Amino acid sequence: MKKEIIKITGMSCNHCVKSVVTEIKKLPLDSFKAEINSLHVEYNETKVTHDEIVKAIEEAGYEVVENILTK
């Protein structure tokens, strides 16, 4: 299980959070919590990759600016 906090730029409201959540829900994550300008995720690296998570964020219209590995 991998845990990350992904910092995102361009998010300014709850609508932005909802846009990210819509895309993130399509991935097989164990858990996630989206907030303005960040995404906390837990996932199994055999089911989904970091790059796929970043791509989902970009599909929602936002950019990843920093990744903090927590475990």
State the total domains in the chain. 1
Q: pLDDT for 3-30, tens place per residue?
A: 999 999 999 999 999 999 999 999 999 9
Distance (Å, whole) CA 54 – CA 52: 5
CATH number at 24 reads 3.30.70.100
Tokens of 5: 């906090």
Task: Identify the domain containing residue 61 by its residue range.
Answer: 2-69
Please report, in angstroms and rounded to a whole number, the separation of the first and last CA atoms in the chain. Answer: 8
Q: pLDDT for 36-53, tens place per residue?
A: 999 999 999 999 999 999
